[in-house]
A and B are shown apart, each in its own frame.
Chain A
């Protein structure tokens, strides 16, 4: 079970990002920032790390003149995150 714990998610911010993307279709950068209460730079670096691993998709568009960036978890990202969660849960239960 322990081997399912994924190094990619070893950060509070990344765990947070994936949790939000699991239950929402497309989430804006601003919404993520508000929910996670982190700085732009910090959030952006974690997002791009997850994007590189192909765990999430980035979508950029213009609404009027303002750019809007939204994020969506990939199937791969969802399944890895689920495995990570079950592993975390199993670990806690074992230590009880």
Chain B
């Protein structure tokens, strides 16, 4: 089955899923309105976006230096940096650290790199129980589903579905869970216990500050702090491209991150982790590990796709994408969905099924319009379409496109052919003004009528009029 057909099979299921559609409708109005309000109430917002982009550009331009400095600072603080070329390497490194710590259970904050490496599956296989502590991640862990959004992993779930999951998992009997606040309290009670019992805490990082070897983590639940600071060992799983040179640079990213993601000026918690507990400190882990995943990212440096590494994972592109809003994240069948995922997923994983993702866009440009670091997402999707055309064997639709291009290079020939085409379609429509079924154009006519042409083509009619005049 072709990649596009696979995407459509999932999309059709999503469109017919009334629960999912309810969840998506709620998210759409929430995220879009809140981001618009945040952008409008900050007069300097466009300038902030330019500054954030400049930080990302400069970080990548000085990548080797930044990473070297970051590693030195982490080492100086008593931590360790591990370089994982592949997801497999990352899994192995994390499991080795867990085993060295004698871990049987680990708490986890949200980490998209952890998702990318399917870390939970690997931990379980190694006999280590992963406890997700981010509410959304906890919900989808119970549901045994992957995240459907990079900021709100359980965005596809309705309140009712979450209630069912909790009732099944927590054996609650008849306790009321009608309000969202009751659901949150319920999850908190379960998760709080786990913070205290975990041997290792694994979090992601939104940024790595080179000058001090500091990992920055933003959350709204505070679960990141408890995951990072209570267990004896803290492991950060992230990718090397999160690095920024200085604290000043990090603050420039923070200014646009939450505004773009949730419309908040800043998240409830912004945590800075700089190594293990120092001798004069009361709290914090004994061990501090930063595991940096590559997974084909370094291959993007210096290529036409490098700007994709500027992404700060705010999710604004998917929140504003009409395709994502229609079909949800799982339809993309990739760790990263939506417009940023439609570019990043084919570049990282490169599975044949990912070819559908850059095609599943109407190029409406809304993603680029809201991207805090102005990544030209439609342009990058177009480049991926070019790559697909060059790398895959031609199919009938490509021959048609090429024939159209060939004809278009000869306007006189084109004019006579479209003239006949217009007339033929107009005749076929009779006086009805539209056609319901058109041979060879089933892709159009399955969903919509084809408005009939008005007799001959414009060029034909124009010539005829000028001839008379």
Do they bind each other? no
